[in-house]
Structure 1
Amino acid sequence: MKLLVIEDDADLRRQLVTGLTGGGYTVEEASDGEEGLYLGSEFPYDLAIIDLGLPKLSGVEVIRKLRKANINFPIIILTARGDWQDKVEGLEAGADDYLVKPFHMEELMARLNALLRRAAGHATPMLVFGPVTLDSSGRNVFVNDEPVKLTSYEYRTLEYLMLNAGKVISKTELTEHLYHQDFDRDSNVLEVFIRRLRQKLDPDQVLQPIATVRGLGYRFDLASGDSLSK
């Protein structure tokens, strides 16, 4: 999952990027509202974290302009303690949730995970499709209740495919949502990750959980096996 952080406080921005990257997310950052609006308008993200007190263009204006442009990724706003008017204005502009500074990284992670699941139509951290289970809270994957060891890139690829199960995801979309803008976009690299995932999830080629749709991309093809994943 790729996140956008728009925060002018260099120390806080560095803490956010470090914490989110350590949590397995791909993170891109901006230090002012104009740069943040440009990134949010031009590149695909799964969620944005936006401080309201930004230079050049306020966080509220960034949100309004993004929503006016029909850019609908979830947004968490950051506000100073006691500024309830800012919270209301940010939410009315189109934000989905807010956090008051100072906050714990664990709370931010819990809230953004919940928003990401909700945006994909899932209510719980457990995604269950047949014998394949992905626990997004612990970033663990199981097949027939047996743990499967994945690299960070492999996990990100599988999570995105499972959150969009049944949909055809192009190689371009998969690359743009999972990796930094300067990631090696050679399609052969992505094909390596897909091949490894297939080998680890389905060594006997019985499940065939990831289908290749020729000329279009990939689709996670197992049916949901648990109503809790809805």
Structure 2
Amino acid sequence: MNMLTEKIKVAIVEDDLDLQEVMKEFLESSGFDTFCFNDSEQFFAQASFNQYDAFLVDRKLPGRSGLEVVRALKAKRISGPIIMVTGQSEPNEVVEGLEAGADDYITKPFHYQVLAIKIRNLVERFRALSTMREPLRLINGERLQLLENSLELKSGDERVRFTRTEFQIFCPLFLKLGLFVKRESLFEGDSLQKSRSLDVHVAAIRKKIRPFGLDLETLRGVGYRLVEPDSQAEINFMN
């Protein structure tokens, strides 16, 4: 994925001042601009939300928690991705953060280079979504396109046809490549029937898209994201 040419502005909301300083120094040495806040109260009092391209939010903040910060940012309809920083020994924090509206997560301790790549990739995807005018993606150098009239995924001379329901489920996942989409936003209907039907449709979609170098990653009870199989090891949610 191409690196962004302009500096990415990252808001860091972290009460561990040592960790905050290390993140700040590494990200700035990697070409980012950083804006640090020691807790949620300082963040809400001083931050200019629309000036940031991405947000790093610690799950366990004094006062208003990281979950509350995420919910407030989503309510403000900010345009950048939110990455929740969680404890490695608390897998439930991942689920809670994503349910609150975080777009991704990283667990402590983490490699700072991985963090920098994650931020760049998410910001690039968000910017692409904001300017995209047609359902088109470039995967492993191949041009993939969704064709609404024929309910097909196309790459060169290769095509696969979806049922209308499969297409309706796959389309938001395709448009938000690499980002989680909640289960409840993918399918309408009675809750129990919806859950069972969605699982069946997702299984069918997986079989159809794998020849195109794509797969669906599941976070149980939360949702799915469309990924390139080679990238799953790096971003496996349940390690």
Residues 1:89 and 2:96 are matched in the alignment: yes
Unaligned runs of 5+ in 1: 125-230
- Choose from 41, 57, 73 the match for 1:34: 41
Matched letter for residue 58 of structure 1: S
Give distance in 2, aligned partners of 1:19 and 1:8: 17
1:209 maps to which residue? Answer: none
1:67–1:94 CA contact under 8 A, matched in 2: yes
Q: Which moved more, 1:12-21 or 1:114-123?
A: 114-123
Q: Give the 3 Å change call, closer, same or farther, for CA 40–92 of structure 1 in structure 2.
A: farther
Q: Which of the residues 78, 84, 87 maps onto 1:77?
A: 84
Alignment of 1:20 with 2:24, yes or no, is no
CA RMSD of superposed structures (Å): 1.7
Structure 1 contact 7–54 (Cα < 8 Å) conserved: yes
Instruction: Tell me the distance in 2 between the aligned counterparts of 1:50 and 1:37.
Output: 12
- Aligned length in residues: 124
- Confirm or deny: 8 A CA contact 2:87 2:108 kept in the other structure: yes
Shift of 1:43: 4.8
Equivalent residue number for residue 130 of structure 1: none
Superposed structure 1 runs of 4+ greater than 6 Å apart: none
Aligned positions of 1:1-230 closer than 5 A: 1-40=8-47, 42-121=49-128
TM-fit CA distance, 1:40: 4.3
Specify whether residues 94 and 41 from structure 1 end up closer, same or farther in structure 2 by C-alpha distance, changes over 3 A only: farther
> Which amino acid letter does the alignment assign opposite residue 38 of structure 2?
S
SS at match of 2:55: strand
Contact 2:41/2:64 (CA < 8 Å) preserved in 1?
yes
Q: Look up the equivalent residue of 2:53 and give its one-letter code.
A: D
Q: 1:19 to 1:101 in 2, by over 3 A?
A: same
Percent identity at matched positions? 36
CA gap 1:36/1:83 in 2 versus in 1, 3 angstroms: same
CA–CA distance in structure 2, aligned partners of residues 7 and 76 of structure 1: 12
Q: Which SS does the other structure have where 2:51 is aligned? A: coil
Residue 72 of structure 1: how far off its partner (Å) = 3.2
1:41/1:66 contact within 8 Å kept: no
- TM-score, length-normalised on structure 1? 0.51
Cα displacement string for residues 162-201 of structure 1 (whole angstroms, at most 9, x for unaligned residues): xxxxxxxxxxxxxxxxxxxxxxxxxxxxxxxxxxxxxxxx
Q: Give yes or no for contact 1:52–1:59 (8 Å, CA) kept in 2.
A: yes
Q: Structure 1: how far apart are the matches of 2:98 and 2:85? A: 11
The 2-side partners of 1:33 and 1:18 are apart by 21
TM-score normalised by structure 2 residue count: 0.49
3-state DSSP of counterpart to 2:79: coil
